[in-house]
Structure 1
C-alpha cells in the first residue's frame, strides 16, 4: 500500500474535533509512509489534512475539477495537483492513484464518493479496502442504516462487513493494511433467463 484516498468535507464542521481528527489522520498517514490522495481543496477538512501531511514532510496529491480550481479553492502547495475536466474524471483519477479509500466526516459529496468506492468494491471493480474514520460517532447513524439495509434484504451481510470502521487513525490504517476482500457471490440466486 502506497497511497490512501481520503474523502472529507470542504467545511470544518460544527465542532473542533473534526479538524483535530483530520490532523491526526494526516500524521498517521505520514508515520505509515502513505501518501494522501484527496480532492485537492485548500478549505475545510480537505485543507486541514493536506496542510498537516505537507507540514510533516509527507506527500499530498490533489485532484480537482477545473470549475473548483477556477473558484480558487484549489490547494497550490501540494506535492502534485491534477486539474481535471469534471467530477467524474476527478473520482476516477483519485481511485486510480489510491490503494484504499477512507471517508472522514463530510457532507453529501463525501457520502457520494464513499458509496461509489463501496459499490465498486461490492461489484469487484476493485479489491481495495473502503473505510470510515468514525470521528466521535459521526458515522453511527449511517452504520445503523446500513445494518437496516441488511436486515431488510437489500444488502448481504458480508458486504456490510467489508466496510472497515475505526475511530482511531492508527488502528484504521492497520485495518487497511490487513484487509482481505471477502469472497462473496454478488448474485447468489440463479435467475431464469427471460
Structure 2
C-alpha cells in the first residue's frame, strides 16, 4: 500500500481529497504528514463540497489552538467548496517549512519534489 501511494505521490503535482471515508482520511493525513516533514512540497487540497470537511478543519484548527499543530503546518491544507476555487488555490500555493523540518535530510528515493508552477513532479 505504501509503495502504491509513494508512486502516485511521485507522479502527482498536487493532492486533492474528495469526500470519502477512512481510506481517504488515511491517505490525506499521510500526505499532510509528508509535507510537514519536508518529504514533498506539493499542495494538499480538500474539495469541501457542502461543508463535508468542516468538522475535520475545525478539529485541525483546535489542534493548532492547543499547540499540537503549528500554524505553519496548518497552512499545508487548502480547501474550497468547488473544484474551480480549489484549483485556483492549489495553483497559488507556496510551500512553507519551519526551521526543524527544513533541516531534515531524506533519502533521494523517498523525497518527492514540487516546484510551484511546474506541471510535473520529479524525484530528486
Which band: TM-score by shorter chain? Answer: 0.7 to 0.9
| Coordinate RMSD, CA, aligned | 1.2
CA distance in 1, matches of 2:2, 2:95: 25
Q: How big is the shift at 1:89?
A: 1.6
Q: Which residue of structure 1 aligns with residue 42 of structure 2? A: 128
TM-score under structure 2 length normalisation: 0.77
1:157 equivalent to 2:71? Answer yes
Structure of greater Rg:
1
Q: Which structure is richer in relative contact order (CA contacts within 8 A, separation 6 or more)? A: 2
Aligned length: 101
Q: Aligned runs of 1:90-129 on 2, under 5 Å?
A: 90-129=4-43
Asked if 2 retains the 8 angstrom alpha-carbon contact of 1:122 and 1:186, the reply is: no
TM-score under structure 1 length normalisation: 0.50
Listed as ranges, the gaps of 5+ residues in structure 2 are: 102-124
CA distance in 2, matches of 1:89, 1:156: 28
Listed as ranges, the gaps of 5+ residues in structure 1 are: 1-86, 188-194
Q: Which residue of structure 1 aligns with residue 61 of structure 2? A: 147
2:3 to 78, 83, 89: 89
